[in-house]
Amino acid sequence: MEIAENINALFGRTTEQISNAPRSLDILPIGTQARVTGVTGSGAIARRLLEMGVVPGAPVRVIKAAPLGDPIEVRVRGYHLALRRTEAKTISVTSD
Amino acid sequence: MSSVLESPSLDSQNADAKHAPARPLVIALAGNPNAGKTTLFNSLTGLRQKVANYPGVTVERKEGSWTIASDLRSARLIDLPGLYSLDAASMDERIARDVLTGNIPNLPAPDAIVAVVDATNLERNLYLVTQLLEYGRPLVIALTMVDLALKRGLEIDANELAESLCVPVIPVTAQQRVGLDDLSKAVLRVIGRKAEGARWRLSDCTECELMALMSGGGDSIDRQTALRTLYADELPQDDGLREAIESARERLAHINVNWWQEPLIARYDWIEQISSRAVKKHAAPRLSTTERIDRILTHKFFGPLILIAVMLLVFQTIFSWANLPMDLVDKGFGRLGEAVGSLLAPGLFRDLLVDGIIAGVGGVLVFLPQILLLFFFIAILEDTGYMARAAFLMDRLMRGVGLHGKAFMPLLSSFACAIPGIMATRTIENPKDRLATIMIAPFMSCSARLPVYTLMIAAFFSGRKFFGFLSVGALMIMAMYLLGIMVAIGVAWVLKRTILKAPTPPLVLELPPYRVPNFLTISQMMISRAWLFLKRAGTVIMAISIILWALATFPRPPQANVVNNDAAVAQATKAGEESETDAGVKTAPGLAGQSGEQLSQSYAGRAGHLIEPVIRPLGFDWKMGVALISSFAARETLVSTLSVIYNVGKDRDSSSDSLVNAVREAKREDGSPAWTPLVALSMMVFFVLAMQCMSTVAVVRRETNSWRWPLFMIAYMTVLAYIASFITYQGGRLLGFN
Domain ranges of chain A: 22-95
Locate all alpha helices (DSSP H) within chain A, ordered by sequence.
2-10, 15-20, 44-51, 85-89
Whether B59 and B177 map to the same domain: the answer is yes
Q: Do B260 and A42 touch (CB under 8 A)?
A: yes
pLDDT in tens, B4-16: 333 344 344 444 4
Q: How confident is the model at residue A16 (pLDDT cuts 50, 70, 90)?
A: very low
For residue B511, give the DSSP letter: E
Average pLDDT, chain B: 80
Query: Among residues B89, B97, B83, which one has the least CA distance to residue B125?
Result: B83
Which residues in chain A are contacts of B290 at CB distance < 8 A?
80
Cα torsion through B93, B94, B99, B103, rounded to 10? 170
Residue B28 counted as domain residue = yes
Q: What is the pLDDT of residue B243?
A: 84
Q: Is the pLDDT of residue B115 over 60?
A: yes
Specify the amino acid at residue B406: K
Instruction: State the sign of the Cα–Cα–Cα–Cα dihedral B394, B395, B398, B404.
Output: positive
Whether B90 and B163 map to the same domain: the answer is yes
The answer to whether residues B84 and B126 touch, using CB atoms and an 8 Å cutoff, is no
The answer to whether residues B404 and B505 touch, using CB atoms and an 8 Å cutoff, is yes
Q: Do B265 and A55 touch (CB under 8 A)?
A: yes
Which residues in chain B are contacts of A46 at CB distance < 8 A?
261
* Chain A contact residues (CB < 8 Å to B): 38-40, 42, 44-53, 55-56, 58, 63-64, 66-71, 73, 77-84, 86-87
DSSP codes joined into one string, B367-378: THHHHHHHHHHH
Distance CA B136, CA B138 (A): 7
DSSP element (H, E) containing A48: helix A44-51
Q: Which of B228, B253, B281 is the last residue of a domain?
A: B281
The ipTM estimated for the assembled molecules is 0.83
Residue B93 counted as domain residue = yes
Q: Is the pLDDT of residue B720 over 50?
A: yes
The answer to whether residues B84 and B128 touch, using CB atoms and an 8 Å cutoff, is yes
pLDDT in tens, B39-84: 899 889 887 777 776 666 666 788 899 998 888 888 999 998 888 9
Distance CA B518, CA B43 (A): 12
Whether B120 and B53 map to the same domain: the answer is yes
Q: Is the pLDDT of residue B672 over 90?
A: no
The answer to whether residues B89 and B98 touch, using CB atoms and an 8 Å cutoff, is no
Q: What is the pLDDT of residue B562?
A: 42
Q: What is the pLDDT of residue B569?
A: 45
The answer to whether residues A81 and A75 touch, using CB atoms and an 8 Å cutoff, is yes
The domain A22-95: what is its CATH number? 2.30.30.90
Which residues contact residue B102 at a Cβ distance below 8 angstroms, ignoring those fewer than 6 apart?
B108, B109, B110
Q: Which of B258, B281, B304 is the last residue of a domain?
A: B281
Q: Is the pLDDT of residue A49 over 60?
A: yes
Residue B153 counted as domain residue = yes
Mutate to test the interface with B, among A63, A76, A84 (most CBs of B within 10 A): A84
Task: Report the gap between the CA of B637 and the closest CA in chain A (Å).
Answer: 43
Q: Is the pLDDT of residue B104 over 80?
A: yes
What residues pair up with B511 in beta bridges, in sequence order?
A80
Q: Which range, of A52-61, B30-39, B461-470, averages the lowest pLDDT?
A: B461-470
Residue B420 counted as domain residue = no
Closest alpha carbon within chain B to A67: B300
Which residues in chain A are contacts of B303 at CB distance < 8 A?
66-67
SS3 A37: strand
Instruction: Give whichever of A78-82, B21-25, B69-73, B543-547 has the largest mean pLDDT.
Output: A78-82
Query: Among residues B322, B602, B661, which one has the least CA distance to residue B458?
Result: B661
Whether B138 and B237 map to the same domain: the answer is no
Taking residue B281's Cβ as centre, other Cβ atoms within 10 Å add up to: 11
Mutate to test the interface with B, among A68, A72, A90, A91 (most CBs of B within 10 A): A68
The answer to whether residues A79 and A93 touch, using CB atoms and an 8 Å cutoff, is no
Mutate to test the interface with B, among A54, A55, A70 (most CBs of B within 10 A): A55
Half-sphere exposure of A84 (CA within 13 A, CB side): 17
Q: What is the pLDDT of residue B563?
A: 43
Does B723 contact chain A (CB < 8 Å)?
no
Which residues in chain A are contacts of B264 at CB distance < 8 A?
47, 50-51, 55
Residue B589 counted as domain residue = no
Mutate to test the interface with A, among B392, B397, B515 (most CBs of A within 10 A): B392
Task: Report the gap between the CA of A89 and the closest CA in chain B (Å).
Answer: 12
Task: Report the gap between the CA of B419 and the closest CA in chain A (Å).
Answer: 28
Query: Among residues B682, B692, B695, which one has the least CA distance to residue B717?
Result: B692
Distance CA B55, CA B398 (A): 31
Does B385 contact chain A (CB < 8 Å)?
no
| Mean pLDDT (whole number) for B674-696 | 91
Q: What is the pLDDT of residue B561?
A: 47
CA distances from B555 to B356, B549, B604, B612 (A): 15, 11, 10, 20
SS (H, E, C) A81-92: EEECHHHHHCEE
The partner residue sitting opposite A68, judged by closest CB among B87, B396, B511, is: B396
Which residues in chain B are contacts of A84 at CB distance < 8 A?
395, 399, 506-507
Q: What is the pLDDT of residue B557?
A: 66
pLDDT in tens, B176-198: 889 999 999 999 999 988 777 66
| Mean pLDDT (whole number) for B695-703 | 85
Taking residue B176's Cβ as centre, other Cβ atoms within 10 Å add up to: 10
pLDDT in tens, B139-172: 999 999 998 898 889 999 999 999 999 999 999 9
Which residues in chain B are contacts of A80 at CB distance < 8 A?
290, 294, 510-512
The answer to whether residues B19 and B192 touch, using CB atoms and an 8 Å cutoff, is no
Whether B108 and B24 map to the same domain: the answer is yes
Q: How confident is the model at residue B540 (pLDDT cuts 50, 70, 90)?
A: low
The answer to whether residues B243 and B237 touch, using CB atoms and an 8 Å cutoff, is no
Task: Report the gap between the CA of A53 and the closest CA in chain B (Å).
Answer: 6
Q: Which range, of A24-33, B9-18, B492-501, averages the lowest pLDDT?
A: B9-18
Whether B117 and B155 map to the same domain: the answer is yes
The answer to whether residues B35 and B117 touch, using CB atoms and an 8 Å cutoff, is yes
Whether B40 and B151 map to the same domain: the answer is yes
Query: The domain containing residue B218 runs over which residues?
Result: 204-281
Whether B164 and B69 map to the same domain: the answer is yes
Parallel, antiparallel, or unpaired: how do β-strands A33-39 and A59-65 relate?
antiparallel
Whether B124 and B35 map to the same domain: the answer is yes
Whether B268 and B132 map to the same domain: the answer is no
Whether B216 and B176 map to the same domain: the answer is no
The partner residue sitting opposite A82, judged by closest CB among B291, B300, B392, is: B392
Whether B185 and B237 map to the same domain: the answer is no
Q: What is the pLDDT of residue A36?
A: 95
Does B256 contact chain A (CB < 8 Å)?
no
Task: Report the gap between the CA of A79 and the closest CA in chain B (Å).
Answer: 7
DSSP element (H, E) containing B51: strand B49-53
Query: Among residues B331, B702, B692, B339, which one has the least CA distance to residue B534?
Result: B702
Taking residue B342's Cβ as centre, other Cβ atoms within 10 Å add up to: 10
Q: Please give the tally of structural domains in chain B.
A: 2
Half-sphere exposure of B388 (CA within 13 A, CB side): 22
Peptide bond into A71 cis (omega under 30): yes
The answer to whether residues A44 and A86 touch, using CB atoms and an 8 Å cutoff, is no
Q: What is the pLDDT of residue B56?
A: 62
Q: How confident is the model at residue B622 (pLDDT cuts 50, 70, 90)?
A: confident
Q: Which of B147, B165, B190 is the last residue of a domain?
A: B190
Residue B81 counted as domain residue = yes
Mutate to test the interface with B, among A79, A85, A86, A92 (most CBs of B within 10 A): A79
Closest alpha carbon within chain A to B303: A67
**Which CATH number does the domain housing residue B95 bear?**
3.40.50.300
